[in-house]
Amino acid sequence: MSKHLSMDIRVPIELDNPSIMRFEEKCIKCGMCRDICRDYIGVHGTYSLKDTNDTAVCINCGQCANVCPASSITEKYEYQQIAEAVKNKDKIVIFSTSPSVRVALGEEFGMEKGSLVEGKMVSLLRALGGNYILDTNFAADLTIVEEASELIQRITTGSKPLPQFTSCCPAWVKYAEIYHPEILPNLSTAKSPIGMQGPTIKTYFAKKMNIDPEKIVNVAVTPCTAKKFEIRRDEMKDAGKKLGIEDMRDMDYVITTRELALWAKEAGVDFKALEESSFDKVMGESTGAGIIFGNTGGVMEAALRTAYEYVTHEKAPADLFELKEVRGMGGIKEAGIKVGDLTVNVAVIYGTENADKVIEKVKNGEKSYHFIEVMTCPGGCIGGGGQPKDLDAERDEINQKRIDSLYKKDTLTPIRSSHENSEIIALYKEFYGHPLSELAEEMLHTQYYDRSKELGKGEDSMKKFRCTVCGYIHEGETAPEKCPVCKQGADKFVLVEEEKASGSKYAGTKTEKNLMEAFSGESQARNKYKYFSQVAQREGFEQIAAIFMETSEQESQHAKMWYEEFHGLGNTAENLKTAAEGENGEWTDMYARMAKEAREEGFEELAVKFENVARVEKEHEERYLKLLANVEKNLVFKNEGETKWMCRQCGHVHYGAEAPESCPTCGFAKAYFERKAENY
């Protein structure tokens, strides 16, 4: 039986998805997440859970969260971890802000849609404890310089195939890796602005500011949930490789626009009352070209401004500073741009379903382009999966206001071409040398991988290994040398046998959904009647109390019957893992959200109770994981050194490294022994 509801009902989401999560109790099963993922993103419906070993395929774009009317799907929160880093005096927290955040953040505080709140945003990040506030627009300029240089190299030397696709949208990159691995050589190897910002901070910036790179906590503030996936890609550790610091990520955390607003509200910051302030000087300067990165067509327009001047050695013409053909909310836009003697044919796309259409036309020779920009989200990054949402307003209208705000900022910026940014010029002079240099290739460029197997794992799929200490899952032919989470060695990993895809006769049917609802209803009734019994007993109605308890036990049997029917009961190790996952979801997601909402609505006492119960659930998870480790390592009834064991049946005490096969007093088996620890 699948662990997911039928794909006819909603999109499946894995618990270990780094970008998004679902609060089950809030899901109203409306199907809006299913529809946008199928019709606009082009993922839902392209695979079956049976083929993927019951594993969801996801490009991490977060558009399902943007349309969810019940906020059952949200980004996976990281701001609490950053708040803890801020409290650590040994850490230097550096925030880098994407262009689209500054034209959407104000909406979370009741301001006009599309309001440019750059100065207040910087002040907010300082108020939350940031040591340095940098502008990712700086890295957008850096990305344009590298990407434009690569485009010119492709066109003039034929060293790589055309058309060149942009690579700054991580959801699009992952989509290409899964659905179109044949075009991976066409993707620009230039990292996204965040991908370039991270390693540049931990090398160039750290040296310039005399900061120990290992003390830096890099935080990207973005409109995008897919960035949470991107920063965790194995190849995003180039600063650590250069510095000889093992396992150091270039960018440590990503928070979305919505997360930043949530953090600000929880911290009690009055956003509207904040004074405006400026970015820090180093890596804080940007051009108009970097600013429009957040808009669909913005990357294309910015790249062409620089490419034109690189090729012709002349100032780009006025129409490249307002390239109307690639602006606006059209899903597919085209233009032909005269650059010297060459007409550069370009396309601008948003929506990966639209990208499919263009790719097909290119492959069959119907269309020929030199350069194609692809953004997954509507309108580009300004419509990202982590942006404020207003389901009562027209989405395109909101996005257009954000787009207009960024274009207005571009026109008011003194320098509007990326290669003219004085800080970028200094960066190349002092550190990278020149575009596409050996060091630039090492730090600012990346590679891609064929992920098409995610659509249907065969016999050659990778093995899974679970860390018995913290539960981390590693995929590969062998266990890793060291767990990236708890740092334990390879000896702490055990091979996880793949669960077979559900072969249940109910899979994907309404009956499957009905069985799940029946289980939920019977479980709630069982607990409810138990509470009613306690009340009746307290009030002196012993018979009624007994009837309530009798009915409660019957409801428990009904619940068990339905659970076994649609899910099945695993062995003890499997059940401990399931239990630990459930407890983790409760303390990391469910109770954290409940406490926040209770506090927002003025129920402080209840919020504290939610937080206290969350701590208990955390202890439950840790206990289950320890028990799971003991079961998997056959240590439930064994220990290193002499241990006090007690028979749970009669109280007999035994000392030794292992519990006896049976109790010498009452005769009960080893199974009834437990490790005994006194607490008095």
Tokens at 452, concatenated:
């098409």
List strands edge to edge, sheet with 673-675: 653-658, 638-647, 673-675
CATH 3.40.50.1780 domain locations along the chain: 80-444
Name the percent of the chain lying above pLDDT 70.
Answer: 94
> Of 168-177, 178-187, 249-258, 618-627, which gets the smallest average pLDDT?
618-627
Cβ atoms < 10 Å from Cβ of 133: 22
Q: What is the pLDDT of residue 480?
A: 74
Q: What is the pLDDT of residue 459?
A: 43
> Of 383-397, 490-504, 611-625, which gets the smallest average pLDDT?
490-504
Q: What is the pLDDT of residue 507?
A: 60
Cα 476 to Cα 461, 465, 473, 480, 577, distances in angstroms: 9, 8, 10, 8, 21
In this predicted structure, the answer to whether residue 119 has a pLDDT above a threshold of 70 is yes
Q: What is the pLDDT of residue 476?
A: 65
In this predicted structure, the answer to whether residue 62 has a pLDDT above a threshold of 90 is yes
In this predicted structure, the answer to whether residue 275 has a pLDDT above a threshold of 70 is yes
Q: What is the pLDDT of residue 506?
A: 65
Name the strand (E) or helix (H) holding 657: strand 653-658
In this predicted structure, the answer to whether residue 595 has a pLDDT above a threshold of 50 is yes
pLDDT band for position 470 (cuts 50, 70, 90): low
In this predicted structure, the answer to whether residue 497 has a pLDDT above a threshold of 70 is no
Mapping DSSP to helix (H, G, I), strand (E, B) and coil, where does residue 134 land? Answer: strand
Name the percent of the chain lying above pLDDT 90.
Answer: 57
Q: What is the pLDDT of residue 262?
A: 96
The CATH number assigned to the domain with range 80-444 reads 3.40.50.1780
Strands (DSSP E) along 173-275, which ranges?
216-222, 253-256
In this predicted structure, the answer to whether residue 324 has a pLDDT above a threshold of 80 is yes
pLDDT band for position 500 (cuts 50, 70, 90): very low
Q: What is the pLDDT of residue 374?
A: 96
pLDDT digits (tens, 9 = 90+) for 192-244: 999 999 999 999 999 999 999 999 999 999 999 999 999 999 999 999 999 99
DSSP β-ladder status, 638-647 and 653-658: antiparallel
In this predicted structure, the answer to whether residue 483 has a pLDDT above a threshold of 80 is no
pLDDT digits (tens, 9 = 90+) for 337-361: 888 888 999 999 999 999 999 999 9
pLDDT band for position 640 (cuts 50, 70, 90): confident
Q: What is the pLDDT of residue 250?
A: 97
pLDDT band for position 44 (cuts 50, 70, 90): very high
Q: Is the peptide bond before 163 cis (omega within 30 degrees of 0)?
A: yes
Mapping DSSP to helix (H, G, I), strand (E, B) and coil, where does residue 355 land? Answer: helix
DSSP lists the bridge partners of residue 222 as 256
The whole-number average pLDDT for the span 493-521 is 65
Backbone torsions φ then ψ of 499, nearest 5 degrees: -75, 140
Q: What is the pLDDT of residue 460?
A: 47
Say what angle helices 193-200 and 136-157 make with each other, to 10 degrees: 110
The residues annotated as belonging to the active site are 147, 150, 168, 188, 227, 230, 235, 381
Say what angle helices 604-632 and 572-585 make with each other, to 10 degrees: 160
DSSP assigned state of 201: I
Which residues have CB under 8 Å from 107's CB, separation 6+? 113, 115, 388, 390
Q: What is the pLDDT of residue 638?
A: 82
In this predicted structure, the answer to whether residue 288 has a pLDDT above a threshold of 90 is no
pLDDT band for position 504 (cuts 50, 70, 90): low
The whole-number average pLDDT for the span 17-43 is 94
CA distance 266 to 261: 9
Q: Which long-range contacts (CB under 8 A, 24 or more apart) does 237-243 make?
A: 238/199, 238/442, 238/443, 239/198, 239/199, 239/201, 239/202, 239/203, 239/213, 239/443, 240/202, 242/199, 242/203, 242/442, 242/443, 243/202, 243/203, 243/213
CA distance 528 to 541: 17
pLDDT band for position 463 (cuts 50, 70, 90): low
| Closest of 484, 481, 460 to residue 471, by C-alpha | 484
Report, at the CATH architecture level, how domain 638-675 is classified.
Single Sheet (2.20)
Mean pLDDT rounded to a whole number for the chain: 89
pLDDT band for position 370 (cuts 50, 70, 90): very high
DSSP β-ladder status, 216-222 and 164-165: unpaired
In this predicted structure, the answer to whether residue 589 has a pLDDT above a threshold of 60 is yes
CATH 2.20.28.10 domain locations along the chain: 638-675
In this predicted structure, the answer to whether residue 614 has a pLDDT above a threshold of 60 is yes
Per this entry, what is the length of the chain?
680
Say what angle helices 591-600 and 257-266 make with each other, to 10 degrees: 60
Amino acid occupying residue 576: L
In this predicted structure, the answer to whether residue 97 has a pLDDT above a threshold of 80 is yes
pLDDT band for position 373 (cuts 50, 70, 90): very high
Cβ atoms < 10 Å from Cβ of 315: 11
Decide which of 513 and 582 is more confident.
582
Say what angle helices 257-266 and 118-127 make with each other, to 10 degrees: 50
pLDDT band for position 264 (cuts 50, 70, 90): very high
In this predicted structure, the answer to whether residue 502 has a pLDDT above a threshold of 50 is no
pLDDT band for position 564 (cuts 50, 70, 90): confident
